[in-house]
Structure 1
């Protein structure tokens, strides 16, 4: 079931700067994360991005934004309140195309109907008042603009993820190097525990796939796709603005 939604900025139990220190280990040692990136690339094949303006709400370290065809788009706005995450995003994306807004999405302002694509991956659950944030995304999209939304809906099992990631780290890097990588990944385990704490306390939103799709539709989108992803923990919903 959905947690009671937070209507004000939550007192986040997660230290996102700590998470940022090890976050990109997921690129190398988390097949489920790489599968999400591949799913995003498949989605982009059906989107006309020539001269497009794109927004990444809760951009993190910029892994999804960096998959965009930067030579074809006209504008890329990344929004994230954490300086550690944004520092890593800046290292991946050229400032000639990308603009970096170090602020919460709830305080970000731009003209209505500005963007052709809004991306939001595993960030909505931690934002204040998620339905209002979805309405904000809808308002920022042009007619027929597209939405790619992935959100953490179920409570994180720290043990399950630690076993999964640890196994893949050792298999890919070998026993000795794998143990070194495991030590480097401690911030991920530590902050996953805090995410679960926030979910349990109701600070962070939890939902089913049906509930997320219903909220996307209520925000004004036509839901064009929906599926459970990321080992059953997350929901992927794609949407389209009305013509």
Structure 2
């Protein structure tokens, strides 16, 4: 009771009650929307009676996502597993001179490579202002990171004598949200010198918000107790809201969904050799380590 009272003082008893019903499954989606409305004073764009929005409107709001995104790295063990997996593959990369982090978000992967390879030039490509601002704050102590503020499909690699080919490219949970992902894969290949490596992590299956909510709450309640778990869920409510938007965009094919076989085929057609492939992120994503094969234009 003491823990519940502490949360109630911060957030208000009615909101906590609604949040608790949300997590425990009593009219989960309806109650979650009610909590969001209390905080934002706005009606959820997916609530009953609201006109359907265009495909553009159904995309995730990455700027809104930015402030809460790093709660994933703090409290989501599945996300922490991804970062560990990434660190473990770095010995295979060698000593890259040029690294591109495409759709680099708040900079979690760029931070790892910038520290691991302090002599490398790391280009973090992120069009969203909120995400890029968070990355700059987080990586402020690193002087080998350059920030590119445009979508990948509008990016032209820097270099005095033509594009500066990369030794290593990172694309983590970004490709699925880009237009024409098969074309983007070809452009990722174009960034790399022959033999260069790519770490590709991509969300392939529909985002089940209720499944993630149950998984994370069970983990947090066991790790930090009920009161703090509720508080963390309240802090991270924007994550669930944007994950709902991702699911909607996946449903109407605005965002790419794929099987393990489909993404492997697309990657190979783009000019890569797959060195290893596995499902990751509790089965929702595909993780591939690839090598750029020589192309005629190389």
Tell me, yes or no, whether TM beats 0.5: yes
1:107 and 2:158 equivalent?
A: no
- The correspondence for 1:13, drawn from 59, 71, 86, is 59
Describe the SS at the equivalent of 1:202. coil
Cα distance change of structure 1 residues 18 and 69 upon mapping to structure 2, 3 Å threshold: closer
Contact 2:156-2:163 at 8 Å conserved across structures: no
Which structure carries more helix by proportion? 2
Describe the SS at the equivalent of 1:177. helix
Structure 1 CA distance for aligned equivalents of residues 113 and 183 of structure 2: 26
Contact 1:227-1:236 at 8 Å conserved across structures: yes
Contact 1:57-1:105 at 8 Å conserved across structures: yes
Correspondence for 1:48: 94
Select between 131-140 and 107-116 the one with higher mean Cα deviation: 107-116
1:179 and 2:224 equivalent?
A: no
- The correspondence for 1:57, drawn from 52, 77, 102, is 102
Contact 2:68-2:239 at 8 Å conserved across structures: yes
Correspondence for 1:142: 193
Structure 2 CA distance for aligned equivalents of residues 60 and 12 of structure 1: 19
Contact 1:10-1:127 at 8 Å conserved across structures: no
Q: How far did 1:167 drift?
A: 1.9
Contact 2:166-2:193 at 8 Å conserved across structures: yes
After TM superposition, where is structure 1 displaced by more than 6 Å over at least 4 residues in a row?
Answer: none
- The correspondence for 1:203, drawn from 245, 254, 262, is 254
Q: Which runs of 5+ in 2 are unaligned?
A: 1-54
Select between 10-19 and 33-42 the one with higher mean Cα deviation: 10-19
TM-score, reference length from structure 2? 0.75
Render the CA deviation track for 1:47-80: whole Å, top value 9, x for unaligned.
1125x11000000111111111535332000011
1:31 and 2:82 equivalent?
A: no
Higher relative contact order (CA 8 A, sep 6+): 1
Structure 2 CA distance for aligned equivalents of residues 73 and 32 of structure 1: 30
Cα distance change of structure 1 residues 10 and 118 upon mapping to structure 2, 3 Å threshold: farther
Q: How far did 1:91 drift?
A: 1.5
When Rg is computed on C-alpha atoms for both structures, the one with the higher figure is: 2
Describe the SS at the equivalent of 2:234. helix
